[in-house]
Structure 1
Amino acid sequence: MTNKYASRKFIDLIQRATSKWANWDPPRKIAVGDYGTIINETGEFDWEGNIYSADFQEQLKLSKYKFNIDFADSALLPNEHEGGDDHFIVKSWSATTKEVNTSTDVAAPGVVNVTLKFDFQFDGNKPAAVLIMHKPRYSSLPHDECIIRLLKSMPGVLKGKYIVTEVISCAAYMMHLSDRKAEKFSVTLKADGPVTPTINAGGAASFAWSSESAYGLPVKDATRPQHILPLYRLKQPRPKFWEWPFGHRGDEKAYDAIDRWEDVDPTWNPLDDEGEEHELYDAEMHGDFGVSIMAILMTMTMTTEL
């Protein structure tokens, strides 16, 4: 597979397996409340703004709905919490986890060395994608009526846009895109740090990846605990969301409105093994498929008459 479509193919495989979007450049910041669209050629998020930004708040003051919101209220800020497991593995359907080994030893008083080994098997019938996140941390939009009212007050800015409702960051990540060759893929993460790490995996913690891969694109990894964000969720409000008034009997409850939005699906036609859009689907969209069927039917009719 060429590098030209590698990002889109990787993102496509992860999204179809999890309904979440992979950030091809995890050190690049994507935050809860971001809004924008998807770049069709690469699959990457095209950032346009953030609902928590000062610029958006200024636009909000000029809205015809005259809605004010106090972002100093902690209840309106993104909800954040750590994952229950030390690692989060995401893989496409053609990849399987063979085993996960963990070993821990005390290097010094108050300091531990942790070694995690992940073994994967790719079946070789089609490309496969794997994403490993160590010490995942979750952040999401709060289920608060004020957030819903804020979004509804800005249709001129947000209507037709995708909104980042959740992000998953981590202390260290590894991603790999295989080609169509059968392959066993091993990855090892060594982490040295305090027995009780800080929330962000701490400045005292250190990480190192090592991997063995004979095929596919080079492994991408990083160990910068200050901010690595490999995965995020994109949602789009349903058309009726923009209808006013809000809060009348029969409307959706504010606390579940965001949860009931639709996950954003890939904006491209189904991809082939090289990451290019399948030509058959383009032909159908432009009516060529229907023309071919009509030609076949006409031929059959003429043959019958003869």
Structure 2
Amino acid sequence: MSNERRYVDLLFRASKKFASWDPEKHLEVGDWGRLATGRPFWAFWRPKRCVFVKEGNIYQDKIAEKYGIPLPKVLGEENPNELTWVTSLNVRDMDVSTSMGKQTPELAECSVKVGFQFVSGGGEAAVLLMVNDSVTTIDPATSLRQLLGEEALRDRVVVSEAHRCASYASYLASSKTKDVVIGLSSKASEGSSSTQAYPRWVRTNKTGYFKGKADNSGERKYYPLYKLVSVKAAGGNTARHSLDSTVNGEVPPEVLPLPDALPLWMSST
């Protein structure tokens, strides 16, 4: 299994959201399309990926207007310097003061930093950090169920929620890693001829896979996490199911949100 697949898989199981392997790829709530393996059919030996292929946008295509789906709402814009994170299920938050002996002087001076412990025997672990994160979402989520009537979107997926941030860091820890502290430094790099400081990610543990981008402009230009829903109805006869559900005191399917889309390797099992 590739690093990309392990990273996406671990964070999806914890959040039911897709972690982007390429956060610089532009994404908007309302985008619709399909999930693809990201490999030619003849390259069967390559690891199966899970790539969202955009085919349109329900707002730009006037589909949302047709069904009265409300415009997206943006949450979290009031905390420009806040650090947020999403982790796999085998990760625990750690008090960074307990690992001061492991921290470099640069990391110790970071005002933005966080520590994580990895459950012993829990296998590989994944962490996504976001600075200046905002969430754009469609509310209510049940309004997207009306898309079941749109033939062009049948068996497609729709971006119902998207995170945007100014800086991000993705970390995939090996099964032998015990803990890590990650911080955002604003000091000039050692050996640099420039006196101007540019933000960059630093960490205590150099094992595992790590990548990130840091920006001091404050502009939210990375899209590291998003939610997809499937435009397909669960169950059989909707009308009959609705009647039975009402009689049994269950929630009728027409007031439920669309089902979450799954990574291809999960949906095929």
Q: TM (normalized to structure 1)? A: 0.61
1:222 maps onto 2:218 in alignment: no
Conservation of the 8 A alpha-carbon contact between 1:12 and 1:43: no
> Which of 136, 139, 144 is matched with 2:136 structurally?
139
Structure-to-structure mapping, 1:198-237, within 5 angstroms? 207-217=199-209, 219-224=210-215, 225-237=219-231
Supply the distance in 1 between the matched residues of 2:15 and 2:143 (Cα, whole angstroms): 29
Counterpart of 1:87? 83
Does 2:12 correspond to 1:15?
yes
Larger radius of gyration between Structure 1 and Structure 2: 1
What are the Cα deviations for residues 242-298 of structure 1, in whole angstroms up to 9, with x where unaligned? x999xxx989798x55xx22122232159xxxxxxxxxxx9xx7xxxxxxxxxxxxx
* One-letter identity of the residue aligned with 2:182: V
For structure 1, the residue ranges without an aligned partner over 5 or more in a row are 61-66, 102-112, 193-205, 271-281, 286-306
Asked whether the equivalents of residues 233 and 258 of structure 2 are also in contact (C-alpha less than 8 Å), the reply is: no
**Equivalent residue for 1:180?**
175
**Structure 1 pair 114–215 and aligned structure 2 pair: CA distance change class (3 A):** closer
Q: CA–CA distance in 2 between the matches of 1:179 and 1:253?
A: 42
- Give the one of 37, 41, 51 matched to 2:58: 51
Please give the alpha-carbon distance, in whole angstroms, between the structure 2 residues aligned to 1:169 and 1:100: 26
Once the two structures are superposed, the pairs formed by residues 14-33 of structure 1 within 5 Å of their partners are: 14-33=11-30
Answer yes or no: is the 8 Å Cα contact 2:155–2:232 preserved in 1: no
Aligned residue in 1 for 2:31:
34
Q: Give the conservation status (yes or no) of the 8 Å contact 2:110–2:183.
A: no
Partner of 1:98: 94
1: CA distance between counterparts of 2:111 and 2:117?
Answer: 20
Deviation at 1:16, TM superposition (A): 0.1
Q: Which residue type is aligned with residue 263 of structure 1?
A: D
Determine the structure 2 residue equivalent to 1:104: none
Q: Residues of 2 paired with 1:212 and 1:82: CA distance?
A: 29
SS in 2 for 1:88: strand
Q: 1:68 to 1:24 in 2, by over 3 A?
A: closer
Query: Partners of 2:4 and 2:142 in 1: how far apart?
Result: 36
Structure 1 residue 231 displacement after superposition: 0.7
Distance, in Å, in 2 between the alignment partners of 1:222 and 1:119 is 19
What amino acid maps onto 1:158 in structure 2?
Answer: L
Task: Tell me, in whole angstroms, the C-alpha distance in 2 between the residues paired with 1:191 and 1:29.
Answer: 26
Provide the aligned length of Structure 1 versus Structure 2. Answer: 224
Aligned residues of 1:123 and 1:181 also touching (Cα < 8 A)? no
Name the counterpart of 1:296.
none
Residue 229 of structure 1 deviates from its aligned partner by 1.1
Shift of residue 76, structure 1, vs aligned partner: 3.4
TM-score (norm 2): 0.68
User: For 1:77, which of 71, 81, 84 is the aligned residue?
Assistant: 71
CA deviation map 1:201-240 (0-9, x unaligned): xxxxx743212323212x1111243411111111124427
